[in-house]
A = this chain, B = another copy of it.
Amino acid sequence: MARVEIVTIGTELLLGQLVDTNAAYIARAMADHGVDVYAKHSVGDNPERLEEMLRASIERGDGVITTGGLGPTYDDLTKEVVASVIGAPLELHAPSLAAVEARLRRFGFTEIGENNRRQAFMPVGADVLENPHGSAPGFVAIRGDGKFIASMPGVPREMRAMLDERLVPWLVERFALHDAIYTRTLHAVGVAESEIDRRIDDLFRTLENPKIAVLAHEGRVDVKIMAKAGDSAAADAMIAPVEQELRERIGEGIFGVDRQTLEGTIVAECTARGLWLGTAESVTGGGIADAIVRVAGASACFRGGVVAYDNAVKAALLGVEAGTIERFGAVSEEVAMAMARGARERLHADVALATTGIAGPAGGSADKPVGLVWFGYAAAGETSARSVTFPGEREDVRRRAVTFGLNFLWRRLTRVAEMKAG
């Protein structure tokens, strides 16, 4: 297995003025092609530090991939440092000079300056990586022992094109990388991570290719199937039986795969069954309606909602009786159910979801602490409710209540067993 390190170069990275998206992009491409990334580093525009870093990195693997420091200005020193580490002097690379000149002419320049000429110098013997989106070409310089340093520009758009179109094919050829990593991710809600672990532990331990990984998110658990294969058809054939097995074991908790979202699944489910949906939100303030409207095509099944923040609105627009609020409190099972019933009627919906809770920081009590949220559900012949006390601050509670509310709605819609606390 080929092994590389990634070195991103630029003082702005060390000042925190830029988030290093290049390193993540390269890392993903390497993972997809079965190349092991041993470590990632960032270093400033400082030739001594860069040289120290590259000299150490190249010893630990087959090569190093760098970004940044290939521009025309005086602090762009990557090429000089790489030449020194590799032990190959810089020489003028005629096709690169022609490309730089052609590019400058396109922008209306008639003379090429010394700075731009510098961009056409390359370590002797390097493979040049053309830059379709910018002036600085990249290169792969190879040391006597076969180890390499590949250098690309730091501008993400230029780097990505050069990586995908030039460097990855170079690596595939060089290291005979015939296998890429293909993934499929199953999304589950309403089943605790520990429960999923219990049900698939033996697969997790024994499967090698494809292998599986479990990742917990807020209110959702992902099970990722990763296959190393020569092409996507071969990968599909390897993934399909594992997916089948996982679906049997995890069961109804799985609501979608890959880019599918819970709100998208709800919209698809309601649309397919001809069900109109409505919401009545207090503590979530419109966040659940907003998630549903995020889905293109939501208008086929979403009537709308009422953000009943004030109790007067719960009464006026949802028909919740003042007596119910007085007797049980606004945050109660009874009010959650009355809100859901009211939303169903007033919005002419078949199915309605309601939330009422205490997001804090104020408003909590011993009985009803900050974080308590009641969810109500109303459909033909059915009204139900359940409560959860979410940890965290105001926005944590509200965000978790949106995710849980969508879970709750989806589980009721698909009539599966009672959810475990999210």
Using CB atoms and an 8 Å cutoff, list the residues of chain A in contact with chain B.
13-21, 23-31, 37-44, 49, 53, 56, 106-108, 133, 279, 281-290, 292-294, 296-299, 302-310, 312-313, 316-317, 346-348, 359-362, 391-392, 394-395, 398, 421
Q: Considering the chains assembled together, what is the distance between the CA atoms of A303 and B308 in angstroms?
A: 7
Q: Considering the chains assembled together, what is the distance between the CA atoms of A393 and B13 in angstroms?
A: 28
A392 to chain B, nearest CB (A): 7
Choose among B29, B288, B359, B392 the residue that contacts A16 (Cβ–Cβ < 8 A): B29
Interchain residue pairs with CB less than 8 A apart (19): A15-B31, A16-B29, A23-B42, A40-B43, A107-B391, A133-B392, A279-B286, A286-B286, A286-B305, A290-B290, A293-B309, A294-B395, A296-B362, A299-B310, A303-B309, A304-B306, A304-B310, A306-B317, A307-B307
Q: Considering the chains assembled together, what is the distance between the CA atoms of A294 and B290 in angstroms?
A: 14
A94 to chain B, nearest CB (A): 23
Identify the interface centre among A41, A133, A284, A306: most chain B CB within 10 Å of its CB: A306
A108 to chain B, nearest CB (A): 7
Q: Considering the chains assembled together, what is the distance between the CA atoms of A209 and B299 in angstroms?
A: 54
A179 to chain B, nearest CB (A): 16
Chain A contact residues, majority secondary structure: mixed
In the bound complex, residues from chain B placing their C-beta under 8 Å from that of A288 are 286
Q: Are A28 and B17 in contact (CB under 8 A)?
A: yes
- How many copies of this protein are present in the complex? 2
Q: Are A313 and B347 in contact (CB under 8 A)?
A: yes
Q: Are A290 and B284 in contact (CB under 8 A)?
A: yes
In the bound complex, residues from chain B placing their C-beta under 8 Å from that of A293 are 283-286, 307, 309, 359, 398
Q: Considering the chains assembled together, what is the distance between the CA atoms of A380 and B24 in angstroms?
A: 52
In the bound complex, residues from chain B placing their C-beta under 8 Å from that of A106 are 391
Q: Given A307-B289, A395-B294, A40–B42 Cβ distance below 8 Å?
A: yes
A309 to chain B, nearest CB (A): 4
In the bound complex, residues from chain B placing their C-beta under 8 Å from that of A38 are 14, 49
Q: Considering the chains assembled together, what is the distance between the CA atoms of A313 and B286 in angstroms?
A: 15
Residue of B whose beta carbon sits closest to that of A38 = B49
Q: Given A304-B306, A421-B108, A285–B296 Cβ distance below 8 Å?
A: no
Q: Are B16 and A19 in contact (CB under 8 A)?
A: no
If A13-B24, A17-B28 are given as contacts, then 13 extra A-B residue pairs at C-beta distance below 8 Å, sorted by A number, are A13-B40, A16-B25, A16-B29, A39-B49, A41-B41, A41-B42, A108-B421, A279-B286, A279-B307, A285-B294, A286-B305, A302-B310, A304-B307
Q: Considering the chains assembled together, what is the distance between the CA atoms of A286 and B281 in angstroms?
A: 10
Q: Are A317 and B347 in contact (CB under 8 A)?
A: yes
Q: Considering the chains assembled together, what is the distance between the CA atoms of A364 and B317 in angstroms?
A: 31
Q: Considering the chains assembled together, what is the distance between the CA atoms of A304 and B13 in angstroms?
A: 40
Q: Are A14 and B27 in contact (CB under 8 A)?
A: yes
Q: Considering the chains assembled together, what is the distance between the CA atoms of A289 and B309 in angstroms?
A: 9
